[in-house]
Amino acid sequence: MPLYPSGSPASRTRAERFDALVLEALEPIEERWSAELADLDVAVDDVPEVPSGTRSPVEDDAVLGDGEIPLARLVPAGMDRRGAVTRARIVLYRRPLEARALDGEDLADLLHDVLVEQVAGYLGVEPDTIAGED
């Protein structure tokens, strides 16, 4: 028997709580930059995939990392292996981000900072512009 009613915030999985925090952190950015972000997707992976032949995924300029640990990646629009057009996307790595946060509030702040950095990279502007500090 569950301790919490299904559908209540306490009954959500860790991944579902993380996804909710991502949406919450993204909301003020999307409100201000909705037109510029219309062709950008945001995704969550549990951990980064290390491409073969690289020592560290943080070697890539599109990767935002903490030391050798990737936290997020900006994937430009392009084509997949089958030749289908893909949209640009920011991929957030849940477990590395959670590991760096002290608590839920710290994780929300970290997600906001990472999203600001990645959106700034996507738009080619300074992070302070995205954060509304201009």
Q: What dihedral angle (degrees, nearest 10) is formed by the CA atoms of 61, 67, 68, 71?
A: -70
So where are the chain's domains? 15-131
- Residue-wise pLDDT for 58-110, tens only, equals 556 677 777 788 999 999 999 989 999 999 999 999 999 999 999 999 999 99
Q: What integer pLDDT is reported at residue 1 of this predicted model?
A: 44
Helix (H) / strand (E) containing 25:
helix 14-33
pTM: 0.83
- Residue-wise pLDDT for 17-73, tens only, equals 999 999 999 999 999 999 999 999 999 999 988 665 555 555 566 777 777 889 999
**DSSP one-letter code for 98:** H
Rounded to an integer, what distance in angstroms lies between the CA atom of residue 134 and that of residue 131? 8
**Cβ contact 93:48 at 8 Å:** yes
Examine the pLDDT at 2 and tell me if it is beyond 70: no
Q: What is the CATH number of domain 15-131?
A: 3.30.2010.20
Residue type for 72, please? A
Rounded to an integer, what distance in angstroms lies between the CA atom of residue 129 and that of residue 126? 5
Examine the pLDDT at 5 and tell me if it is beyond 60: no
Q: Which two tokens stand for residue 37?
A: 């972000």
Examine the pLDDT at 134 and tell me if it is beyond 50: no
